[in-house]
């Protein structure tokens, strides 16, 4: 299995629209591990780990976002998987 890790920063109207819940549902549906959180500057940050194809699928879903949100920019850093998570959670 070709596993990877992606650290994603999402910019736009992404807080207060259920974006973190959307990311968690997407990640769990793809059996990815990691976390998502709001940042003080209005961005949302997520770390996704799992099979590369599934991580890429999640990134594409985040690029679209939930219907209430508006993604203006997506910054993605891909690195080797560290296998440090056991599930996917929303962090405060």
Does the active-site annotation cover 13?
A: no
Q: Which one of 2, 20, 73, 83 is the catalytic residue?
A: 20
Contact 28, 88 (CB under 8 A): yes
Beta strands in the chain (DSSP E): 3-13, 33-38, 44-51, 70-80, 88-90
Does the active-site annotation cover 83?
A: no
Termini Cα distance of the chain: 31
Q: Which one of 13, 37, 38, 78 is the catalytic residue?
A: 38
Q: Which residues are catalytic?
A: 20, 38
């Amino acid at each position: 299995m070709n596993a990877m890790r992606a650290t994603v920063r999402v910019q736009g109207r992404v807080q207060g629209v259920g974006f973190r819940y959307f990311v968690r549902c997407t990640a769990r549906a793809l059996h990815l591990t990691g976390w998502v959180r709001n940042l003080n500057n209005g961005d949302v940050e997520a770390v996704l780990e799992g099979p590369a194809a599934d991580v890429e699928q999640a990134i594409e879903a985040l690029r679209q976002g939930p219907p209430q949100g508006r993604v203006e920019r997506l910054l993605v850093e891909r690195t080797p998987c560290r296998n440090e998570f056991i599930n996917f959670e929303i962090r405060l």
